[in-house]
Amino acid sequence: MKDMRRIVIVGGGTAGWMSAAALSKLLLRDEGLKQWQIELVESDEIGIIGVGEATIPAIKAFNTVVGISEDEFLRETQGTFKLGIEFVNWGGLGQRYFHGFSPIGQPLDGIAFHHHWLRLKREGLAGELDEYSINNMAPRRARFMRPRADMAGSPLAEIAHAFHFDAGRYARYLRRLGELRGVTRTEGRIQSVQRDGESGLLQSLTLTDGRVIQGDFFLDCSGLHALLIDKTLGVPFDDWMHWLPCDRAQAVPCESAAQLLPFTRSTAHGAGWQWRIPLQHRIGNGHVYSSAHISDDEAAATLLSGLDGKPLADPRVIRFRTGRRRTPWVGNCLAVGLSSGFLEPLESTSIHMVQSAVTRFMDLFPHGNLDATDIAEYNRQAEFEMARIRDFIVLHYKLTARSDTEFWNYCRTMTVPDTLMAKMELFATNGRIYREGTELFTEASWLQVMLGQGLTPRSHHPLTDLRSLAQVQAWADNLRDVTRRCVEVMPPHADFIAANCAASPITT
């Protein structure tokens, strides 16, 4: 088989145009080379889900590779900064905690900070966990600044941020970049897909107007429709609804609030949860819920009653099934984004999984003979990544004291994956947390969710007892004081945006 020279991307939106922007940066960077062709096929008639308006810090690396200026990106997408996620009513009604992106405290004697904190907390000598992290304290004051690389050792150097942005605007921005680099965009609906009769590989697409698009390799970015990986190739789908019972979402934008907050908020309701994502020009809101426990009308009423301002549209219903495509790479077809599987956006991982898929594909970019070992390695890595993200999301549902609805009774008592149960049991004994291989979420992330939702270890690392309580308390108090003083020098989030990356007013 000849080399992979003609790459066809099926579907636009965030997944399609992220793929196009990354591949064009790699393959079309030299205008003198005409050996590569990247063609993206999409139809303006087909809607885009676009619920992923919040991200995690890894997106900064993707934007850098693609060649995107952070301030320009934020102006183009009406973006704001994100320091973490606030969770409300998850561990119990009336409870809240924060999952921030930066480290919690600092190690002492080679032992993680939280072990010393657990020891102090039992003696009534420690503050709340948030007080030892700048990413957790700055949001309380709606403060933000980028990390100061010139201040090593200071909490100001540890600030870790991601973004909120309009996903539709991001896709359009990436489209402009891709087309400038030579990506061909073809408008049209796909009527049929042709395969080679002998090998079964994909050969071409036929559009409804009769045009035929030939390709050597195909990226399925067609969203939940999964035109290639499912409808054409029939790759099995592993259903995870028994662990993540929510199967619908309703999304609606509303007017902005008075204060521009640098974090996402997730508020648990009776049969799911509601997101709040602040942008420069509006707030994005959505209600993820289980249709077995609440009707669409009730879910819409719950969503609308929790808005900060006047809704700017009617809620739209999105139906989904949680799980993963068993082998996202088959032959000369790779599923990227929602076509490869769906996990609800509780921890803002949707766009990250597009990024990791594209990055992994470039790392294992195929020869013409489509090496089976490379494809198997891609699928192995994809399975590991998604399963561990799944575990982290399931943790939020499993680890709750709520018993006020049938939904929460089910979640609290359900059987969870063995990999998740092992992590919970290890932490419950002596507070130990280990990050396995390339799993996405760090020890600090697991720590904040497990403690935030009420899982307190029975003990702490025994070697923390080698220092006197007075020594450890003085050290921890200093960390807390330094963190508080650093937050004081940070500007308000709105002021930072106004000075660096304010978008032009939207005209109607």
Residue 206 pLDDT greater than 90, yes or no: yes
Residue 50 pLDDT greater than 60, yes or no: no
pTM of the prediction?
0.95
Q: Average pLDDT of the chain? A: 95
pLDDT value of position 28: 83
Average confidence (pLDDT) over 235-262? 96
pLDDT value of position 504: 87
With tokens 């077995």, the residue in question is 292
Average confidence (pLDDT) over 279-284? 95
Per-residue pLDDT reduced to its tens digit, 192-204: 999 999 999 999 9
Taking Cα atoms as reference points, which of 444, 396, 441 lies closest to residue 102? 444
pLDDT value of position 46: 64
Taking Cα atoms as reference points, which of 26, 20, 3 lies closest to residue 336? 20
pLDDT value of position 352: 96
Helix pair angle (372-398, 443-452), 10° resolution: 30
Amino acid of residue 126: A
pLDDT value of position 32: 46
Percent of the chain residues past pLDDT 90, beyond the cut:
92
Residue 467 pLDDT greater than 70, yes or no: yes
Per-residue pLDDT reduced to its tens digit, 367-378: 888 999 999 999
Do the strands 37-42 and 6-10 form a parallel or antiparallel pair, or are they unpaired?
A: parallel
Are 50 and 13 a contacting pair, CB within 8 Å?
yes
- The residues, any chain, with a CB within 8 Å of residue 45's CB and separated by 6 or more, are 189
Are 451 and 87 a contacting pair, CB within 8 Å?
no
Per-residue pLDDT reduced to its tens digit, 375-417: 999 999 999 999 999 999 999 999 999 999 999 999 999 999 9
Average confidence (pLDDT) over 319-348? 97
Domains of the chain (ranges, CATH numbers) = 6-53+166-240+322-370 (3.50.50.60), 248-317 (no CATH)
N-terminal to C-terminal alpha carbon distance within the chain:
52
Bridge partners, 492 (sequence order): 143
Average confidence (pLDDT) over 460-469? 96
Residue 2 pLDDT greater than 70, yes or no: no
Instruction: Give 425-433's long-range contacts (Cβ < 8 A, gap of 24+).
Output: 427/455, 427/457, 428/455, 428/457, 428/458, 429/457, 429/458, 429/459, 430/457, 430/458, 430/459, 430/460, 430/461, 430/462, 431/114, 431/115, 431/118, 431/457, 431/459, 431/460, 431/461, 432/461, 433/112
- The residues, any chain, with a CB within 8 Å of residue 425's CB and separated by 6 or more, are none
Do the strands 329-330 and 248-254 form a parallel or antiparallel pair, or are they unpaired?
A: unpaired
- Is 44 exposed, middle or buried (CB count within 10 Å of its CB: 0-12, 13-18, 19+)? exposed
Average confidence (pLDDT) over 78-93? 97
pLDDT value of position 508: 45
Average confidence (pLDDT) over 36-64? 83
pLDDT value of position 33: 53
Phi, psi for 490 (deg, rounded to 5): -80, 140
Residue 471 pLDDT greater than 90, yes or no: yes
Amino acid of residue 499: A
Per-residue pLDDT reduced to its tens digit, 209-247: 999 999 999 999 999 999 999 999 999 999 999 999 999
- The residues, any chain, with a CB within 8 Å of residue 115's CB and separated by 6 or more, are 431, 460, 461, 464
Are 79 and 501 a contacting pair, CB within 8 Å?
yes
Average confidence (pLDDT) over 459-464? 95
